[in-house]
Structure 1
Amino acid sequence: MGVNERKIDLEQGLEIMQKGIVKLKNILEGLPETPFSSEDYMMLYITVYSMCTQKPPHDYSQQLYDKYRESLEEYIMSTVLPSLREKHDEFMLRELVKRWENHKIMVRWLSRFFHYLDRYFIARRSLPPLEEVGLTCFSTMVYQELKVKVRDAVISLIDQEREGEQNDQALLKNILDIFVEIGMGQMDYKNDFEAALLKDSAAYYSRKALSWISVDGYCPDYMLKAEECLKQEKDRISHYLHSSSEPKLLEKIQHELWSVYESQLLEKEHSGYHSGYHALLKDDKVENLSRMVRVFSKVSKFLDSLANTLKQHVTDKGTALVKQAEDAAGCKKADEKVVGLQKQVFVRELIELHDKYVAFVNERFQNQKLFHKALKEAFEALCNKGVGGSSIAELLATFCDNILKKRSSERLSDEAIEETLEKVVNLLAYISDKDLFAEFYRKKLARRLLFDMSANDDHERGILMKLKHQCGVQFTLKMEGMVTDMMLAKENHTSFEEYVSNNPNANPGIDLTVTVLTTGFWPSYKSFDLNLTAEMVKCVEVFREFYQIKTKHRKLTWIYSLGTCNIIGKFEPKTMELIVTTYQASALLLFNSSDRLSYSEIKTQLNLTDDDDVVRLLHSLSCAKYKILKKEPNTKSIAPTDHFEFNSKFTDKMQRIKIPLPPVDEKKKVIKDVDKDRRYAIDASIVRIMKSRKVLGHQQLVMECVEQLGPMFKPDLRAIKKRIEDLIFRDYLERDKDNPNLLRYLA
């Protein structure tokens, strides 16, 4: 007869199952009992199978389901709870771990015995599975009764551990795993344990903080203790607390250690010690600062205060540098060269200040975004100030010029130069008016290139690459064009020399070098028809013929103000070589045919129209260091009534001298050029926006224009509105007839 044909009545079946359950209980309690054999297991399984597959009314599935629950409940009531109720503290916890492990074993075995219920009966009736029923029994009968006592016992042990006592951490982990497992996740752990732990921890560390601040009083000592406690709490989390508790627990502890004593920790002064955060910044106590940030890295309010303090500290340091530079610039006794050197020192100190606090934020302040933001705001405010009548944009350009030109006062290795230029470009990121830097830099780059003052071509190209990366392709387009022009000029000069050697009739008679520049790349220079001597005229004509053969469609405009000449001066003491500008050479050569010339005669014969140019020219030759001309009257300034003669008695210990023209303050011209370029940039931005949008509100157009131009300069709102009006007048835009605040693009 097959097993499914055997009839088992209810009492007989329950009796068989009860014997198996008793045997299981005895094994769990350690009583003398033979282990389960495969025959025992099959007997119990087949009994359940048969009782569940008999035809009604002999299908006892429900009764067996109830028997499963009752068996667990009876075991808990008769054995588990009494054993737990008689124990306390750590002994209760150990007993709970043992009973929980036994309960899981019992559920696992019973679930096997009653397995057929899970497969069919429970699925059809949508009842809780056997393992879930087993968990629920323990939860409702044991866990709910003991959870508060267990929680308090665990927290008590944790507090003892905080005071230095040793704990059985494996026991604590097993207990806390029960909180997690009972909740089938973290729910019961959070509600029944974590909330109380956080509350107790807050109270514990509140007491500790009061004790430490009262006894120690010195901020770094307080920080050492706080950091050690945080380390221990992290270890506690890794050993037995659930990982989800870490951010909440650390934040709670950090808050208690800081919130009450905020002002003391930020501006601590105790028994003559300046130990607060601000004082630590001032004294460069790097390790203590780093510890403060580590200890309170999860307290947002603290980090805000810290960031604001850092911002103010850096601002104060930078302001002191500015004041020092301005005091030096304002000193009546200081000459222009000393002021210039002081401004170079200022830039160097500004770079060092930036380096120092960027390193602080990256290495000591955990690279926190909040501190980077504070640093950025401090340097933006600092780098957009004026220093002794100069903008920082101008000072940075001058600083670069000093590093990159020959005979620099900054004697640096190639690696140091590259590193310093990188740091200058980093500072440029904080400057609003980057176009002002670009124009100053372009002017100085032009001088270095045209007068062979650049020390190293690789460095010149290197900084242009850095500027392009920082500010975009358009920023360096003209500068790169200038460098390329100089490379082409060398090739052009080689071709010219070949042309001259192959055409004897084209020989200019003197050594001639012409640098051809592309108009759009270079700064604008004064250009007018200087009356050249016959020798110079021949040079110009020879080169013009050569260039027209090479390029027929380009027009040459001669910039005599940039030219230099080497001429021989035959003085009575000795003959000397004079290195002068084309203007100076033209003026001196006039005295080959005239012994005495008036101011007006020189001006007329040279065809100069600007009196400022004439004054600078004659001053350099008669009133400065080298007096090649004698002036009547013999005063230190040039007047239109003056007369000049060749100084045949002039001499100098050098055989070869360079006679400079008085420097021109180019700052006004640069600013004027930048303002003009900005008008064009604003116009282009407005047209670009309107061409895309067709119709746009006046205010929105202004805002979009500010945003678009922001990377290069901070446009003035009034200037934008003025340009809009000009574009309306020029029929690029029109106002809507019904709504004057609405603008339309006219194609």
Structure 2
Amino acid sequence: MTDANQAWEELRPGVDRILNKWEEGIHPNEYMTLYTTTYNYCTNSRSTSTDHRAEQKGANLIGGELYAELKRHLEQHLQSITDQGASHMDDSLLVFFTKNWTKFTVSAATLNHIFGYLNRHWVKREIDEGHKTIYEIYILALVSWRDHLFQRLQEKVIKAVLKTIAKQRNGETIDTGLIKTVVESYVSIGLDENDSRKSTLEIYKTYFEAPFIEATEAYYKAESEIFITQNPITEYMKKAEARLKEEEKRVEMYLNPATQKGLITTCESALVKNHTTAIQDEFQTLLDNDRLEDLSRMYGLLCRVPDGLDRLRTIFEAHVRKQGLHAVEKVAESAAAAAAAAAAGTATPPNERGDDDEEDEAPKKKPASAAKKAAGADSAEIDPKLYVDSLLLVHKKYAELVQTAFRGESGFVASLDKACREFVNRNVVCKSSSSKSPELLARYCDSLLRKTSKMAEDNEFEDVLNSVMTVFKYVEDKDVFQKFYSNYLAKRLVNGTSSSDDGETSMLTKLKDACGHEYTNKLQRMFTDMGVSKDLNDSFKEQMERTHEKDDLIDFGVLVLNTSSWPFQPPKSGLNIPDDLLKTYERFQRFYQNKHSGRKLTWLFQFCKGELKTNYTRASKTGYTFQVSTYQMAVLLMYNSATSYALDELLGTTGIGKEVLVPTVGLLVKAKVLSMEGGSSPSAPGVRFVLNEDFKSKKVRINLNLPIKTEQKAESSETHRTIEEDRKLLIQAAIVRVMKTRKTLKHVTLVSEVLTQLQSRFKPQVPDIKKCIDILLEKEYIERADGSKDTYNYVA
């Protein structure tokens, strides 16, 4: 028979050795002896135990008195350790605390195994019956540590920990293992009151984390206020960034991960939030000096605090807009300087300028300011490549800045887009008309896609087109771009000057992706017409061969284009088709009418061209080949009959209008194919145009079909007029769509919805919308609601 006192007397020496000489370990034989003693006591049915509940429930549930003895012994052991710790301070206390914690927990784990049978039976029964003050032996040890040693020493321990951390923050080397062990002990003794086998962070948060974060806030608040007054903001940002990294690393080294959020938030408040205005004030200086690293650091700090980036985004948007406007101004000034230099030099020949006034023959100077103003107002004076490149340069610079320094943050992306939209659509070049940017962009695209473009042969061609689409994205008047691009594309296709079909197709695909199928529908049909025209030419030549008419047929090719798809207008000038061309002209007319009965062909002579072989020149035995427009051809073919004509004779025979004939002949005079006699201007009275039989050139093939500036300006003006007409129809269509859907609508709401519908193509002016509403009222598509002047009803 074994009672509790006898069992404890047998166990106590071994328990003492485990608690006090844990480094030596325990011999297996002694371990088994202690375990057996515990087992024998718990299974002794004739025990003299006073545990009456155990007697009632059976021999296998004895253990309460042994449990109580062990508990008292642990408390006495911890009381002894606590008394020893009272004499220690700071680092010495931490060493003492951690050493005894490690020793005690190892010992407790060993005791937990020795009293394993007690845990599995008596302790388990007590816990299952809801006795919250009964624990497994290891947990009992932790609770004893918490209630006896921890409660008495924790204030001194936390003060020592905070002092040690402060030393580390001041640059001193510390033993981080000590703090890590203290932290682990605080976490370990945080037991759940409802289930002692579960742990919580309550002890850690209350007795460690709270004072630690409070001390951290005070430390960094004091340090930052002193440092920022004695150093530049850029140096302060480096300091703040380094401190935040230190605290993040501190969590990894020895703090519980649950502390990170509160700790970093506190540091951000002390280091960044409290100094947000001072940091933001430095932003403009960093932008002006392209301090990429500092900008990145500033973003990294201010993105941590609420609304820290709002002011930066506003400053950034204004800065980018200013840089964009400045870049365009430099391009305009360059164009102005070129215009002023040209105006100050020898006068441009009248035929080159398309001028037919004799009094303009003398050289004239313009004031530089006037030339500058003209260059800024007229997009024809601006080099499209320089203009687009200047826009792209600014965008590229700050897009890279957003991606690198600001990590692609959506707010800065939006600010960049707003700024770019402003300087692309509202700059010095666009002052006279908001449509200048899309017009210049279309001209730039034309220069890229024509055969003369060096870039068209470069591997970077696709990248260049992507850059074009970057500017296109910011252009508000996309309908203007569409109209001019359509004009230039039509000319490239008609003249066969496209650099490659792949390039044209790639550009169309990008426009389609950006604006939809409807935007590129007509452009796509142009390519279809080109294919149909090729088949038509082949059919015509085959028929001429079958009817034996090919021998007297000149080399002839024709493009038959659909009026609705192509941006061409009928010629304003008449033309008497020369006899040399008439037979072929008539044959094709008959061929086409037989093939497509009822269709009408309108000949666009202003786009026709051909080649003439010469054999009259004295300077060349083999002669030259002139590449000419149809109008030039009509003029030159007259010189097969005579060598000199007056202007009236040329007008009468060719049937060409004077406004077209004068610049046409002017180009021939400038090229020295014809010479003028009896006057200094093609339109001067009595002037005669004489064939220059001494004409000579280093080239065998000579292109005389050069663009005439007056025609180019007139064409640009006509395009803008067409755009305005198209816009009126688009606005009216949008109004009808909205009203058909809504049936009844107030004026303000109608205007707002129309603006929303059309903003992807262009930005309509409110007065224009009002005019279109009035037109639809007159046409009775809509009507005013009874009793309300600002409400409209849809008329079905």
Q: TM-score, normalised by structure 1?
A: 0.81
Cross-structure match for 2:553: 509
Instruction: For 1:272-311, list aligned pairs within 5 A.
Output: 276-294=282-300, 296-311=302-317
In 2, distance between residues paired with 1:425 and 1:675?
24
Amino acid at match of 1:168: D
Amino acid at match of 2:162: I
In 2, distance between residues paired with 1:179 and 1:677?
78
Determine which of 452, 455, 459 is the counterpart of 1:415: 459
Cross-structure match for 1:200: 215
> What SS is found at the alignment partner of 1:429?
helix
Cα 1:468–1:126 change in 2 (3 A) is farther
Q: Choose between structure 1 and 2 for higher RCO, CA contacts under 8 A separated by at least 6 residues.
A: 2
Amino acid at match of 1:39: T
Cross-structure match for 1:582: 630
Cα 1:680–1:113 change in 2 (3 A) is farther
In 2, distance between residues paired with 1:681 and 1:52?
96
The question of whether the paired residues in 1 share the 8 Å contact of 2:286 and 2:295 is answered with yes
Cross-structure match for 2:443: 398
Between 340-349 and 108-117, the greater mean CA deviation after superposition: 108-117
The question of whether the paired residues in 2 share the 8 Å contact of 1:325 and 1:387 is answered with no
Cα 1:523–1:154 change in 2 (3 A) is farther
Cα 1:374–1:35 change in 2 (3 A) is same
> What SS is found at the alignment partner of 2:670?
coil
Cross-structure match for 1:365: 406
RMSD, matched Cα: 4.5
Amino acid at match of 1:324: K
1:324 aligns with 2:330: yes
Cross-structure match for 1:173: 180
Measure how far apart 1:205 and its partner are: 3.3
The question of whether the paired residues in 2 share the 8 Å contact of 1:393 and 1:428 is answered with yes
Determine which of 662, 669, 685 is the counterpart of 2:708: 662
Determine which of 113, 116, 122 is the counterpart of 2:118: 113
In 2, distance between residues paired with 1:516 and 1:144?
100
Deviation sequence 1:339-396 (CA, Å, 0-9, x none)? 7565522322332222222222223333333332332222122111244357222222
Cross-structure match for 1:713: 762
Cα 1:40–1:678 change in 2 (3 A) is farther
Cα 1:230–1:647 change in 2 (3 A) is same
Measure how far apart 1:160 and its partner are: 0.9
In 2, distance between residues paired with 1:714 and 1:417?
31
Cα 1:242–1:740 change in 2 (3 A) is farther
The question of whether the paired residues in 2 share the 8 Å contact of 1:21 and 1:71 is answered with no
Aligned residues: 721
1:88 aligns with 2:89: yes
Amino acid at match of 1:363: T
In 1, distance between residues paired with 2:691 and 2:162?
104
Between 201-210 and 133-142, the greater mean CA deviation after superposition: 133-142
Cross-structure match for 1:42: 39
Cross-structure match for 2:21: 30
Q: List runs of 5+ in structure 1 lacking aligned partners.
A: 1-5, 268-275
The question of whether the paired residues in 1 share the 8 Å contact of 2:639 and 2:691 is answered with no
Instruction: For 1:379-394, list aligned pairs within 5 A.
Output: 379-388=420-429, 391-394=436-439
Cross-structure match for 1:235: 249
Deviation sequence 1:577-619 (CA, Å, 0-9, x none)? 44332234345556767975665x86676666xxxx6324312
Instruction: For 1:616-627, list aligned pairs within 5 A.
Output: 616-622=660-666, 625-626=670-671
In 2, distance between residues paired with 1:67 and 1:487?
103
Amino acid at match of 1:366: R
> What SS is found at the alignment partner of 2:628?
strand
In 2, distance between residues paired with 1:72 and 1:693?
88
The question of whether the paired residues in 1 share the 8 Å contact of 2:676 and 2:689 is answered with no
- State the percentage of identical aligned residues: 27
Determine which of 143, 158, 163 is the counterpart of 1:151: 158
Cross-structure match for 1:313: 319
The question of whether the paired residues in 2 share the 8 Å contact of 1:696 and 1:744 is answered with yes
Measure how far apart 1:172 and its partner are: 2.1
In 1, distance between residues paired with 2:789 and 2:629?
58
Cα 1:320–1:124 change in 2 (3 A) is same
> What SS is found at the alignment partner of 1:93?
helix
Cα 1:163–1:530 change in 2 (3 A) is same
In 1, distance between residues paired with 2:203 and 2:328?
61
Cα 1:626–1:480 change in 2 (3 A) is same
Measure how far apart 1:223 and its partner are: 4.5
In 1, distance between residues paired with 2:456 and 2:317?
32
Cross-structure match for 1:436: 480
The question of whether the paired residues in 2 share the 8 Å contact of 1:69 and 1:133 is answered with no
Q: List runs of 5+ in structure 2 lacking aligned partners.
A: 192-198, 343-374
In 2, distance between residues paired with 1:191 and 1:496?
97
Cα 1:681–1:122 change in 2 (3 A) is farther
> What SS is found at the alignment partner of 1:35?
helix
Amino acid at match of 2:19: L
> What SS is found at the alignment partner of 1:566?
strand
Cα 1:506–1:343 change in 2 (3 A) is closer
In 2, distance between residues paired with 1:713 and 1:282?
34
> What SS is found at the alignment partner of 2:610?
strand
> What SS is found at the alignment partner of 1:647?
strand
Measure how far apart 1:621 and its partner are: 0.6
In 1, distance between residues paired with 2:761 and 2:44?
87
Amino acid at match of 2:31: P
Cα 1:508–1:83 change in 2 (3 A) is farther
Between 115-124 and 657-666, the greater mean CA deviation after superposition: 115-124
Deviation sequence 1:311-363 (CA, Å, 0-9, x none)? 33323322221221222334451558997565522322332222222222223
Cα 1:651–1:157 change in 2 (3 A) is farther
1:674 aligns with 2:723: yes
Q: TM-score, normalised by structure 2?
A: 0.76
Determine which of 152, 156, 167 is the counterpart of 1:160: 167
Measure how far apart 1:535 and its partner are: 4.1
In 1, distance between residues paired with 2:144 and 2:295?
54
Instruction: For 1:469-508, list aligned pairs within 5 A.
Output: 469-505=513-549
The question of whether the paired residues in 1 share the 8 Å contact of 2:10 and 2:37 is answered with no
Instruction: For 1:341-360, list aligned pairs within 5 A.
Output: 342-360=383-401
Cα 1:537–1:228 change in 2 (3 A) is same
Cα 1:690–1:60 change in 2 (3 A) is farther
Measure how far apart 1:514 and its partner are: 0.8
The question of whether the paired residues in 2 share the 8 Å contact of 1:202 and 1:253 is answered with yes
The question of whether the paired residues in 2 share the 8 Å contact of 1:311 and 1:374 is answered with yes
Cα 1:94–1:648 change in 2 (3 A) is same
Amino acid at match of 1:42: Y
Cross-structure match for 1:647: 690
The question of whether the paired residues in 1 share the 8 Å contact of 2:268 and 2:304 is answered with yes
1:426 aligns with 2:470: yes
> What SS is found at the alignment partner of 2:460?
helix
> What SS is found at the alignment partner of 2:340?
coil
Cα 1:40–1:696 change in 2 (3 A) is farther
Cross-structure match for 1:271: none
Between 119-128 and 724-733, the greater mean CA deviation after superposition: 119-128
The question of whether the paired residues in 1 share the 8 Å contact of 2:540 and 2:591 is answered with yes
Measure how far apart 1:658 and its partner are: 0.9
Measure how far apart 1:627 and its partner are: 6.3
The question of whether the paired residues in 2 share the 8 Å contact of 1:621 and 1:628 is answered with no
Instruction: For 1:450-461, list aligned pairs within 5 A.
Output: 450-461=494-505
In 2, distance between residues paired with 1:257 and 1:56?
65
Amino acid at match of 1:479: L
In 1, distance between residues paired with 2:751 and 2:109?
75
Cross-structure match for 1:272: none
